[in-house]
Structure 1
Amino acid sequence: MTERLRIAVIGYGTAGQAMAILLTRDGHDVEIFERVPTPGPVGAGFLLQPSGLQVLWQMGLLEAVRAHAAPVHRLYGDTPCGRAVMDMGYGGLDVRLHGLGMQRGALFSLLDQARDGAGQLHAGTTIDAVDTARGQLRDNEGRTHGPFDLVVAADGAASSLRATIAGGAGLDRVYPWGALWCLLPAGEWPHVQQLRQRYVAARKMIGLLPVGTRPGDDTPRLSFFWSLPRADFARWEDEGMQPWLQELHALWPEASARFDHLNDAGQLSRAVYRDAVMTRWHQGRMVLVGDAAHAMSPQLGQGVNMALLDALALRDALRVHGAGETALQAYQAQRRAHVAVYQRWSRWLTPLFQSDRDAWAKARDALLGPMGRLPGGRGHMLRVLSGTQHGWFGSLALDPAFLEALARPPVALATQAATAAA
């Protein structure tokens, strides 16, 4: 790095947290603006893929993450009659690879701890507008902040700031289907290293993902997911829990003991998803990262991983090119080459799992398995799953040292504490 920049980061989700950590470590003067008065995680759990895990490894956080996360080696989905629709294991790509299921609260806490107070956090401050030419911000109370050499907009899938980029939005829409979700105690759930899903055509999808523990709570948990059209959220609540619980137990009786923990509608939060494709990710001194740049359906489970990759790529572009247009162009070119294929796959796959298109679901059930057995087909599917597909034919490089670190048994929390004390 040849110059110390004054940088504003708007949003304190995964993308904003990772940006703040990486930029302050490089010596930049960072100010973070978060609209909620008490920043915290939004969502239940997610699957960290090898692509995102490699970024956390480069940040020195892999072992801290592994201490709370649950290793996931297999993704399996079937119908209530027991017909397998999807069965994919990371070992088919590399025996050292796996994902990590993690609670959003755990990752938020670990990233917040890693920031260690570096950079000034303005909580409860909503940024309404950005002067991209001057790098100046205006909040909802009319106050101005800056100017900044760079403004990083990391304000999420429903970003109000991406419209600032003139002519940048190629597509920005809300998906008609969303989800209900919550965390459940894992208890005696036997599939502790698998993401399990159950499908009824494309109209119903239930998921249970092991997501480990979080700081202050040593109870292993599962992230529960129930697919539902956004238009049906109110109807679901009005009908009450009992009819829905009866249906849930009937569709997946093997998981009934887990569902016994569901007894109140207040336990379940509602998720809404967007599909946003930007033709340009930057203008003047402002640049988009994370879901603000490329929101997509969670069908491929890549949101958190893409946010981490964005943060690292922007940090590296600033290291090479310094502030200015050249750095932002380099960042956009690198990340769009990776993100574009995932946005297309996500858009194509989502109706196969969340829609009213029964004929498409029948084709999915009949063809998805055989397609994975075609020459080259399974490798492509596994690279898409692991986040390592780059373009249509390339792959994202994984460092051999990272693969060896991932293959080793995780360091226990007690061992980490003893090492730190020594």
Structure 2
Amino acid sequence: MHKSHHIAIVGYGTAGQASAALLAADGHRVEVFEQAPALGPVGAGFLLQPTGMQVLWEMGLLDQALAHGRRIDRLYGETPCGRAVMDMRYAPLDRRLFGLGMQRGALFGLLAQAWDGFGGVHCGTRIVEISEDTRRVRDAQGSWHGPFDLVIAADGAASALRRHSGGVRADTPYPWGALWCLVPQEDWAWPHELRQRYVAARKMVGMLPVGTRPGDPQPRISFFWSLPADGFDAWERGGLEAWRDELATLWPQAAARVHQVQSCAQLARAGYRDAVLHSWHRDRLLLMGDAAHAMSPQLGQGVNMALMDAAALREALRHADALPAALARYQHRRQRHVAIYQFWSRWLTPLFQSERDRIAKLRDVAFRPLGRMPGGRGHMLRVLSGTQHGVFGRLKLEPGFLAALEGLVDKSPLTLPAAPEPAVTE
């Protein structure tokens, strides 16, 4: 038995959704404050790693996620002339493992249904401040809410409550952003691969199959186009046709898939931040997800980290007698795992999104050979799958979860050739 708390969650993204469902199921009284006037997903698609899938398995949602998502077994990146820069597969790490491309709308629907109190979200309520005793929150209209036993700030990379933690070491925007949209998969030649194409580090195009979502049985691909954060307006002024011509030159197959994009407004704009905190909590305030550890999307771990944060908090509240001990337990468990991803994200991003042409040339020559070396390959695959823990450790996946994946191995429709590399060794 554990003590029941009255908990406020600020933000209804993945971290807030998963936390609301998990904590309410454990008997906590949960209230959610969401600034959007109506609830809905934000973003196009993402790659769910085994670590994130394990959380959905614990929540009893894995089968539904698999029904909508698209199994991804390979991540492949190349230059326009066909030179391979990156080629990574999950099988050398463990033949049971794979990624799952999903639409934001699909995951949003699953997590929303998992919380019985879904209808109790305070929509259109932007929280801008927390009281000195960290028990109450104030919205943009000046109204105070609370008191609460615990306030969870899950309000994203641009968190308004991060500063109240008192432990911010760095909080800076990335100089590069992206354009996103969903396009029909149709006859796409690589339905089980994340495919990327690079022009030095100045341009990156990504195509990730993300399956279907409730109410839309059409399989889709999440399309990604990187550009400087201050270049969105110039891109729009350049016109859609000029951009289409450029895309067709770089990657004709990708250009054929975006034929339904008829206006610049159909491509969503995304910006990113790098936030590093000494402490993720102060008194009764706790930061979670991107509010606690925003990073570049280069490693594609945002959704997975949010799900793992929520599961770790539930366990910490279950096994600590007092709230301060629970929050310390939560941060200790999660911070060491997150730190290695923030480190690699910070160092890898200039290799793929920057104006440093010499670094990009070095990447093209060295990145793939490093991934074939026994030590480097194992580390890269663990980082890819979310199972790297610290510099040398490995995050163990639950035997029950691996057993659930075991039955899927022989059912895969993949026709990819077997990866030639031997199994990863420690």
TM range (shorter): over 0.9
Contact between 2:11 and 2:155, CA under 8 Å: does it hold in 1? yes
Aligned to 1:275: 274
Aligned equivalents of 2:365, 2:126: Cα separation in 1: 49
Q: Unaligned 5+ residue runs, structure 1?
A: 413-422
Contact in 1 for aligned 2:112/2:118 (Cα 8 Å): no
Shift of 1:320: 0.8
1:56-102 Cα offsets, whole Å, 9 max, x none, are: 10111100111100000000000111000000000010000000000
Cα separation, 2, equivalents of 1:331 and 1:50 = 21
What is aligned with 1:66? Answer: 66
Q: Aligned in 2, Cα 1:334/1:119: closer, same or farther, shift over 3 Å?
A: farther
Take 2:37 and 2:231, find their aligned partners in 1: how far apart are those partners?
A: 31
Query: Which residue number corresponds to residue 175 of structure 1?
Result: 174
Q: Does 1:368 align with 2:383?
A: no
After TM superposition, the runs of 4+ consecutive aligned structure 1 residues lying more than 3 A away are: none
Secondary structure (helix, strand or coil) at the match of 1:91 reads coil
CA distance in 2, matches of 1:119, 1:24: 13
Q: How far is 1:119 from its partner? A: 7.7
Segment of structure 1 superposing worse, 124-133 or 33-42:
124-133
Structure 2 residue matching 1:227: 3-state secondary structure: strand
CA contact (8 A) 1:132 1:285 kept: no
- TM-score, normalisation: structure 2: 0.94
CA–CA distance in structure 2, aligned partners of residues 79 and 118 of structure 1: 45
The number of residue pairs the alignment matches comes to: 410
Task: Spell out the pairing of 1:117-136 with structure 2 (5 A cutoff).
Answer: 117=117, 120-131=120-131, 133-136=133-136
Give the whole-Å Cα distance in 2 for the aligned partners of 1:133 and 1:390: 34
The equivalent of 1:296 in structure 2 is 295
Contact 2:165 2:279 in 1 (8 A): yes
Establish whether residue 100 from structure 1 lines up as the match of residue 100 from structure 2. Answer: yes
Cα distance change of structure 1 residues 134 and 267 upon mapping to structure 2, 3 Å threshold: closer
SS at match of 2:227: strand
* 144-153 vs 352-361, greater mean Cα deviation: 144-153
Deviates more, 1:356-365 or 1:370-379: 370-379
Q: How far does the alpha carbon of each residue in 1:256-286 deviate from its partner, in whole angstroms, 9 at most, with x for none? A: 3213222211110100000000111000100
Q: Which runs of 5+ in 2 are unaligned?
A: 412-426
How far apart are the structure 1 equivalents of 2:252 and 2:119?
A: 50
CA contact (8 A) 2:76 2:193 kept: yes
Residue equivalent to 1:12: 12
CA distance in 2, matches of 1:147, 1:118: 21
Native 8 Å contact 1:153 1:161 kept in 2: yes
8 A Cα contact 1:5 1:323, kept in partner: no
CA contact (8 A) 2:11 2:34 kept: yes
Alpha-carbon displacement from aligned partner over 1:111-149 (angstroms, at most 9, x marks no partner): 111113358311111111112525111111221111111
The C-alpha deviation readout for 1:294-324, integer Å capped at 9, x for no partner, is 0000000000000000001111111111442
* Distance (whole Å) between structure 2 residues aligned to residue 36 and residue 254 of structure 1: 36
**Are 1:249 and 1:259, in contact at CA under 8 Å, matched by a contact in 2?**
no
Matched, 1:164 2:146: no
Percentage identity across aligned positions?
Answer: 62
The answer to whether the 8 A contact 1:20-1:30 is kept is: yes
Residue aligning to 1:416: none
Offset, 1:216: 0.2
Residue type of the alignment partner of 2:69: A
**Which residue of 2 is the match for residue 392 of structure 1?**
391
